[in-house]
């Protein structure tokens, strides 16, 4: 524990040193800009509310019925902000409500990773042994040697089964959603078999390719090693201890219980109306993307996660491994063990994004847990909506900055974070 704490302290100091050096605009401004960047990484700079609101408005202009951003300042709770625009439901005209439940998509991967890391802490799983060792016999071919760690990093060479279900890159069509997604119930082992037919895509550990099948495998391992359904393990080890009263995993129940936002799938033919895609079994993506939650619960989960041992979810050493991120082909984006790292102008933030029919969320925290941001929109199958939502992160974490201080993703717009590669889930 003491050694782990020293490692984290040293790592934090190194990050601050890099930001101080990198924040200089000229010799006279070096100290001022560097200090500002270091503070921003710790959540000390006030959010740029106007910038966040403008990003949310761009999200609506791109086609989302509604959007919100919830900014929690755990250093100064009085500085918390909630900005909501547009509609939670088009039929009733109900305004967007940032307290309601929604499908979190691939934010689910963080929950699954926590369960795996807890098994590793109990010595029931070794991250550096083959994934197949922790699955029912015959799930993976005997010569597939990718490790659990490589699977968690999306560096295992496992084909993404959702490509077969959706038959195209990018998001699913409304037709395919109705035919294969909304009502169908898939067995996880059948989804893995769908992937295995394509063979290993590259030598494990040599490349990065986002694959929902990776986290289908991890969910299967949780069930195999515990002898319990994933939903029960998640409830007992995460939901109940953290008192996440609006979080659940109900596959294959199609409903979202209680007050919730209506999700809308953008039609491929933009002249046609949005499709209400709120209800679906979720089984096509399961432990990779089917959790239901709320902004408040995601804040509580993230805050506990980045607190390491003090948060009660994972140990300091497990957190260190989860947040040791390797660069991906997308600029400013790295990936750890079920946790995404995004490099902003004021430092790095950790969390995940999620896109699932009708819903998309970006949930991130500073490494010290002093600020979390949950940004949400109730539309999918629309890249401009995704980019608009990503645009909330820079002003929410880093506040107002000179236009010359940070540009990411091209286009000349300060604080533009590239849309990540998980365009579906």
Catalytic residue positions, numbered: 106
Beta-carbon contacts of residue 345 (< 8 Å; ≥ 6 apart): 37, 40, 394, 398, 401, 405, 406, 414, 415
Cα separation, 389 vs 361, in Å, equals: 8
Nearest of 297, 302, 325, 324 to residue 313 by alpha carbon: 302
Q: What is the dihedral of CA 425, 194, 140, 341, to 10 degrees?
A: -10
Could you tell me if 154 and 421 are in contact, meaning their C-beta atoms sit under 8 angstroms apart?
no
What Cα–Cα distance (Å) separates residue 375 from each residue in 67, 179, 320?
Answer: 7, 30, 25
Q: Using the 8-state DSSP alphabet, how is residue 310 labeled? A: G
Query: In a 10 Å sphere around its CB, with 0-12 CB exposed, 13-18 middle and 19+ buried, how is residue 248 labelled?
Result: buried
Half-sphere exposure of 268 (CA within 13 A, CB side): 9
Cα separation, 274 vs 312, in Å, equals: 41
What Cα–Cα distance (Å) separates residue 200 from each residue in 44, 144, 155, 335?
Answer: 45, 8, 11, 20
Could you tell me if 152 and 218 are in contact, meaning their C-beta atoms sit under 8 angstroms apart?
yes
H-helix or E-strand spanning residue 352: strand 347-356
Q: Which residue in this structure is represented by tokens 């035919």?
A: 179
For the stretch 333-338, contacts whose Cβ atoms lie closer than 8 Å and that sit 24 or more positions apart, written own/partner, are 333/418, 333/420, 333/421, 335/153, 335/154, 335/208, 336/153, 337/113, 337/116, 337/117, 337/127, 337/149, 337/152, 337/153, 338/109, 338/110, 338/112, 338/113, 338/114, 338/116, 338/152, 338/215, 338/218
Total Cβ atoms within 10 A of residue 396: 30
User: Residue 398 is encoded by which pair of tokens?
Assistant: 């880093």
């Amino acid at each position: 524990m003491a050694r782990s704490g020293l490692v984290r302290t040293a790592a934090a100091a190194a990050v601050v040193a890099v930001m101080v050096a990198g924040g200089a605009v000229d010799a006279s401004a070096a100290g001022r800009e560097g200090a500002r960047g270091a503070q921003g990484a710790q959540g000390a700079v006030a959010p740029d509310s106007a910038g966040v609101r403008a990003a949310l408005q761009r999200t609506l202009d791109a086609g989302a019925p509604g959007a919100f951003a919830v900014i929690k300042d755990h250093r100064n709770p009085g500085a918390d902000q909630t900005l909501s625009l547009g509609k939670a439901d088009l039929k009733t005209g109900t305004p967007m409500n940032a307290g309601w439940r929604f499908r979190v998509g691939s934010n689910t991967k963080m929950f699954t990773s926590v369960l795996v890391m807890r098994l590793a802490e109990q010595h029931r799983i070794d991250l550096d042994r083959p994934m197949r060792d922790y699955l029912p016999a015959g799930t993976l071919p005997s010569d597939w040697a990718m490790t659990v760690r490589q699977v968690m990093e999306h560096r295992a060479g496992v084909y993404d089964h959702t490509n077969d279900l959706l038959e195209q890159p990018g998001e699913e069509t409304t037709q395919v959603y109705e035919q294969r997604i909304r009502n169908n119930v898939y067995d996880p082992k059948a989804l893995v078999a769908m992937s295995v037919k394509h063979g290993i895509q590259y030598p494990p550990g040599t490349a990065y390719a986002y694959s929902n099948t990776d986290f289908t495998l991890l969910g299967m391992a949780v069930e195999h090693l515990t002898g319990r359904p994933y939903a029960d393990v998640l409830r007992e080890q995460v939901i109940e201890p953290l008192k996440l009263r609006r979080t659940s995993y109900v596959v294959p129940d199609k409903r979202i219980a209680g007050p919730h936002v209506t999700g809308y799938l953008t039609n491929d033919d933009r002249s046609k109306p949005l499709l209400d895609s709120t209800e679906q079994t979720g089984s096509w993506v399961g432990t990779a993307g089917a959790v239901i939650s709320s902004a408040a619960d995601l804040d509580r989960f993230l805050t506990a996660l980045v607190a390491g041992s003090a948060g009660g979810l994972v140990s300091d050493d497990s957190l260190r491994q989860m947040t040791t991120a390797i660069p991906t082909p997308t600029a400013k984006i790295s990936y750890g063990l079920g946790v995404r790292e995004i490099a902003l102008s004021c430092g790095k933030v950790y969390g995940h994004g999620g896109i699932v029919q009708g819903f998309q969320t970006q949930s991130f925290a500073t490494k010290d847990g002093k600020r979390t941001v949950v940004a949400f929109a109730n539309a999918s199958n629309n890249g401009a909506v995704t980019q608009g939502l990503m645009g909330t992160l820079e002003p929410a974490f880093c506040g107002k900055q000179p236009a010359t201080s940070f540009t990411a993703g091209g286009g000349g717009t300060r604080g533009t974070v590239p849309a990540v590669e998980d365009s579906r889930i």
